Amino acid sequence: MTATSASTTSAGPAGVDVAQFADVTASDASLRRFLHGLPGVDQVGCEARAAGLGTRSIKTTAKAQALDLAIRMVDLTTLEGMDTPGKVRALASKAMRPDPADPTCPAAAAVCVYPDMVATAKDALGDSGVHVAAVATAFPSGRAALDIKLADTRDAVEAGADEIDMVIDRGAFLTGRYLQVFEEIVAVREACARPDGTAAHLKVIFETGELQTYDNVRRASWLAMMAGGDFIKTSTGKVQPAATLPVTLVMLEAVRDFRAQTGRMVGVKPAGGIRTAKDAIKYLVMVNEVVGQDWLDPDWFRFGASTLLNDLLMQRTKMTTGRYSGPDYFTLD
């Protein structure tokens, strides 16, 4: 891969260079050559390293800092057909003040909802600094015409979404139609643009449980980053397996290598199945070891979760008071 010269590049929403990979994305054949030319993932080595990192433990002050950081990284999520405005307002309240009894507890990163609930979430969160994320593009299946996906995205942005979580067309990806997937991500990113020239951040969901191999996860990661995604995200949370440590390791290595090659940072969001503080800390250890402290920030690493926050709060209370709160001490989401 060779980047084009600066004189031929152009910036799209959020200042992403849309021409940097023009030579790679000129055709399906060139894109296929590039993606299949990426180094293969050693499955045994990847899983062994992930398992080893998962055995690390941190104590006392470092653990307390990790719990607070993990809370700040949570995208508190409700994506059910029975969602109501009342439920979304309650979730927004919890995101702003996760532990009402402790004003030192940090706020969550975002509230993630369906597009029709964006306005409700935005109104409830006000100027708190907690973002509104909206799933779009026929989430979770991605099975819709492109014009419908783009309309879905624009509606969410117009309603005030700060972030858009889109799903790729796994059918297209798995049958090797990489350019179609690339162009769809580019189109959705352009639909994230606002009239003032800013843009909602775009998170690209792979549904790694359907991608079958770590090599496919690496290829999807590079495809999404070249198309201008601000974040790459493991899963919708609707398919198992969802987020795993080995899959996240592959994605972290991809963003590390992409930054080394292009100078651009891309965030990572594991989502689905992360339920305990112990699990969250394993991911934070992995982030620190694989990509470093630059990514230990809610701007660059998130947890997509609906139940994780309560366990983080219970562990935090234990460290603060010396005793566990009851399981019903915090609201259920």
For residue 274, which of 311, 249, 299 has the smallest C-alpha distance?
Answer: 311
Q: Is 222 within 8 Å of 38 (Cβ atoms)?
A: yes
At 303-312, the pLDDT tens digits run 998 889 999 9
Chain-centre distance of CA 311, in angstroms? 20
Which domains are seen in the chain, by residue range? Answer: 28-321 (3.20.20.70)
Cα–Cα distance, 132 to 169 (Å, whole number): 24
Given this model, what pLDDT does residue 56 score?
Answer: 86
Q: Which residues pair with 201 in a beta bridge?
A: 163
Active site residues: 165, 233, 269
Distance CA 297, CA 303 (A): 11
Query: Any long-range contacts for 150-155 (C-beta under 8 Å, 24+ apart)?
Result: 150/187, 150/188, 150/191, 152/115, 153/188, 153/191, 153/192, 154/191, 155/115
Check residue 10 and give its pLDDT.
41
Reported as a single tens digit per residue, the pLDDT across 61-77 is 999 999 999 999 999 99
Can you give the pLDDT at residue 324? 63
Query: Taking Cα atoms as reference points, which of 279, 284, 207 lies closest to residue 241?
Result: 207
pLDDT of residue 319: 87
CA dihedral 134, 135, 138, 141 (to 10 degrees): -170
pLDDT at residue number 325: 62
> What pLDDT is stored for residue 57 in this prediction?
80
Q: Which of these, 156, 163, 168, lies nearest to 111 by C-alpha position?
A: 163
As a whole number of angstroms, the distance between CA 187 and CA 194 comes to 14
**Helix intervals (H) in 197-244:** 214-226
Torsion of CA 92, 297, 222, 177, to 10 degrees: 0
Name the residue with tokens 């234990």: 318
Confidence (pLDDT) at 11: 43
Residues of the chain with pLDDT under 50: 1-12, 14
The alpha carbon dihedral of 259, 265, 270, 275 has a sign of positive
